Chain A
């Protein structure tokens, strides 16, 4: 459906993108993950023709959209990182405004509004001005406004930032529904458990794709075995690991630490080594890596 070929872009002396290529298929959700400043927003802005690349081409169903921007604008829906709502309009007025802007009939506007309220839980506040909403409510309203129209291709730049876990769950149900109806979705996200929900994921760093594949394929690429270590005093245990020079092996994961066995010494030896730690260790077990492990692995040493 969407074909991106060898896109490069530089600002002054910075190469924001260096030859990015990929395809987005009908009904597919492709996740874009990468550190701050990796080039995610630049790439998305180029795809929706708000920015011109220095080289490369983009085809939407075989038409070159860099030369035909109207096509891009009518077929694609874009939710930028920062989206301006009409602060003086109520929730409902904003939704209707955007529905009309996208040329929907009143009945379609009404139906879409109900569908979107189901995800956002904003219905009880329909009469409140956008300016008086909380941060996450604003974000959900912005998303809903953009989703009022039903484009063939959806481009979302960090749509769920600041959205609470329950609404995030509902939001992803909605994206899956749109995908089964045939919408192609390209979405960047800082929540890696969301990336796990995508059909395919691209990891971008320094303006290049470092990996692209199904979540399972990406996690299988990690060679080292991974162990989850739990402790009632997780942060002090983490600090002990860092002090003992395990910086490359260990990552904090909230309720647990992840230890990657880069040296291939095996569970027995690891258990032996960590006996010396003062912090109590509750359990240690082998786990399969998540996308967050993959992300941290690829970024080791290249970050900051």
Chain B
């Protein structure tokens, strides 16, 4: 399997504080990569760099062969990204949001029309197409946000805490979509504070204070930390 993300000694400072401190890792094409860590460990900062939204202070990384320093415009246009903050417009309707993001990703008018229909159907949101996004339950909003970040059919998608604050049923539904994406060959890079969800990843990285302190498959991490669950792995790794 080839690598879709390669990161070598990536660092990002704010003033003299190193938010991300010489981290290195690779992500294989088609895997679900769980990017865990304590609050403030540097997960969002790393993701923003990998998505071409923030320049590194030093280190190297390439995404699908694109270089972080020179090809960030290309990266932004080809990857999918769902940010930690809710990214849809609450005061647009569901349909308007899909159309808006279709435009952002450079789809043609015809493609936007087709995609909108397809998404509304697959999300079961046909009846809500003309409701304001603000009025949707959070679980649905997050599924809508995910779908809009997939409009341009990216090979890799970065999801920053997509399931935070949504209820256990919606959370399971959201993960079922993640498996489907992985089955279709997409690479999913995802952060979460729910350790149950970490169990479903092919590879898990755990960050603390800007550094990666553990990186392996859940099964091997559990045997390294002599733990039955990822919850215990996390508690033992971080403390």
Contact = CB atoms under 8 A, between A and B. Distances in A.
Q: Do A and B bind each other?
A: yes
B30 interface: no
B232 to A, nearest CB: 10
B170 A36 contact: yes
B179 A190 contact: no
Given A36-B137, A165-B231, A254 B169 contact: no
A36 B164 CA distance: 12
Interface in A157-174: 158, 161-169
A132 interface: yes
Nearest to A300: B169
Nearest to A295: B168
B195 interface: yes
Nearest to A255: B199
Contacts of B179: 235, 239
B14 A132 contact: yes
A255 B230 contact: yes
Contact of A137 (B37, B39, B164, B169): B39
Interface residues on A, range: 35 or more
Contact of B164 (A162, A252, A254, A255): A162
A140 B169 contact: no
Interface string B174-192: 0100010000000000000
A232 interface: yes
A255 B39 contact: no
Given A134-B39, A295-B168, A166 B239 contact: yes
Contacts of B168: 190, 192, 292, 295-296
Interface in B105-147: 124, 137-140
Nearest to A135: B84
Given A36-B139, A133-B40, A135-B161, A304 B169 contact: yes
Contacts of A191: 194
Contact of B169 (A35, A163, A165): A35
B238 interface: yes
B193 A134 contact: no
Nearest to A81: B165
Given A36-B167, A292-B168, A164 B38 contact: yes
A162 B175 contact: no
Contact of B167 (A137, A169, A190, A255): A190
B167 A234 contact: no
A298 B215 CA distance: 38
Given A136-B193, A165-B235, A254 B230 contact: yes
B166 A190 contact: yes
Interface in B182-239: 193-200, 218-219, 228-231, 234-235, 238-239
Contacts of B74: none
A165 B40 contact: no
A253 interface: yes
B172 interface: yes
B44 interface: yes
B166 A163 contact: no
Contacts of A37: 137-138
29 contacts: A34-B167, A35-B137, A36-B138, A36-B139, A37-B138, A125-B40, A132-B14, A134-B39, A134-B43, A134-B44, A135-B85, A137-B40, A140-B39, A162-B193, A164-B39, A164-B193, A167-B39, A169-B235, A190-B168, A191-B194, A234-B200, A235-B179, A254-B195, A254-B200, A254-B230, A255-B228, A304-B169, A304-B170, A304-B173
Report the 5 A-B pairs with minimum CB-CB distance, sorted nearest first.
A136-B39, A254-B196, A254-B199, A36-B137, A161-B165
Given A134-B39, A235-B200, 9 more contacts: A132-B14, A134-B40, A134-B44, A190-B167, A192-B168, A251-B172, A254-B195, A296-B169, A304-B170
